[in-house]
Amino acid sequence: MPKCRTVDRMIPSLFLLVLATDLSAQQPLAVSPGDRTALEGSSYTHYPLGRHHARVQTLHDDVPAGSLITAHAYRRDAIGVRGQIASLQSDLQVTLSISPNPAAQASSSFVNNIGPNPVVTLPRTILSFPGTDRPALDPAPRFELMIPYAVPFLVPATGGTLCVDVEVFGNQTINGSNQNFSIYLDAHQQYSDGRAVQPGFRFGQGCPASGQTADSYANLDLWRMANGTTELDVSIRDGVADSGSGTTRAFLTMGLSLAGSPWPMRADCPFWSSSETWFLLPGTMTNSGDYDGVLQAQPLLPPGFRIWMQAGSIDLSTVDMAFSDGITLVTQPYGSLPIPCARIANGSNQAATSGSVSNSVPVMAFF
């Protein structure tokens, strides 16, 4: 008898694996949040696939009415970590329904978010998920982490808030069975005032300050503020250190094209941006060569432009200079209001009756 049960479990798993391969080549019916279709999310998450015993609901106001859904999928985060994320298997079940609650009114009680006539679209089974590598550019071009359904779900012609209820009973990772796993799924933080943040995608290589061995690098967040302005949060590490004179400053270049030519005074310092615009950042570098600051009240950039940026530091008295690696992003629109998605999660207990409500949601595609 145990052998028969094993075979029974393997057959649907193999069928679902083939189905997932076919679906991954198709364009999704919808991406939620909808403004993330061609934009990187502002965060990352290990929910639900990175947990070994969990229940995670997501509510979606932005899935089109009349959609026949046969799968949903997650994509690899492009910002949080570089390099390969290993494959894993997850023992899970998926149930879909039309929730009585819009996403902005999500309940912490799981049962309150489930609508009438829920459909178990994927009875409990073990699915295999491939390893993923950091994409060459943000966002990841495909939603590689696919959950195909055994039973499709039809969103009514009248529409509604889709509730996706994922229960995780266990997993198998490179670290063994039933281990929490850092899978780095793309996720997005939504704000109730409509502001939106877009993180920069780091690429290439910077150059070290004189006398140093570590290449300078930078992180950047572009904010579209509710008051109609743009802000840039810039962090620089391993730049030119200030000796106490206050003459060592940070700067940011911005351009509409990717470049790759060296700085004439140092062949090991490449320009990664066409650098049509230069900003002198407020404040000075620290005595360890670090910088953290905000460029405030900048003109509002229209959404949909890919910009190429690079940070740097310079001692205005000695002209010692270091450039960071390159940074690129696509300028974002305001966040949708009311907030169109929500996550309700208990990350340690599949049998829990409630979870924490969050506006930070995994970016999901529906097929």
The tally of CA atoms less than 13 A away on the side-chain side of residue 241 is 8
The pLDDT of residue 248 is 97
Mean pLDDT along residues 321-333: 97
The domain total for the chain is 2
The pLDDT of residue 266 is 87
Q: Are residues 217 and 348 in the same domain?
A: no
Q: Is pLDDT above 70 for 344?
A: yes
Average pLDDT, the chain: 93
The pLDDT of residue 7 is 31
Q: Are residues 107 and 35 in the same domain?
A: yes
Mean pLDDT along residues 73-86: 96
Q: Which residues does residue 308 pair with via DSSP β-bridges, in sequence order?
A: 255, 328
The pLDDT of residue 3 is 36
Residue 176's H or E segment, with its range, is strand 176-177
pLDDT, one tens digit per residue, over 91-109 is 999 999 999 999 999 999 9
Q: Are residues 77 and 127 in the same domain?
A: yes
Q: Are residues 261 and 351 in the same domain?
A: no
Q: Are residues 107 and 179 in the same domain?
A: yes
- Tell me the two tokens of residue 316: 């205005």
Q: Are residues 200 and 170 in the same domain?
A: no
pLDDT band at 12; cut points 50, 70, 90: very low
Beta carbons of 59 and 165 less than 8 angstroms apart? no
Q: Are residues 302 and 265 in the same domain?
A: yes
pLDDT band at 326; cut points 50, 70, 90: very high
Q: Are residues 258 and 292 in the same domain?
A: yes
pLDDT, one tens digit per residue, over 115-167 is 999 999 999 999 999 999 999 999 999 999 999 999 999 999 999 999 999 99
pLDDT, one tens digit per residue, over 226-235 is 999 999 999 9
367 vs 140: CA distance, rounded Å: 17
Q: Are residues 177 and 200 in the same domain?
A: no
Q: Is pLDDT above 70 for 17?
A: no
The pLDDT of residue 10 is 36
Q: Is pLDDT above 80 for 62?
A: yes
Percent of the chain surpassing pLDDT 90: 89
Q: Are residues 105 and 249 in the same domain?
A: no
pLDDT band at 261; cut points 50, 70, 90: confident
Contacts of 9 (CB under 8 A, 6+ apart): 125, 126
Residue listed under structure tokens 């391993």: 238
pLDDT, one tens digit per residue, over 206-220 is 999 999 999 999 999
Chain centre to alpha carbon of residue 255: 24
Q: Which residues does residue 43 pair with via DSSP β-bridges, in sequence order?
A: 187
Q: Are residues 181 and 248 in the same domain?
A: no
The CATH number for 222's domain is: 2.60.40
User: What is the domain extent for residue 267?
Assistant: 196-330
The pLDDT of residue 260 is 84
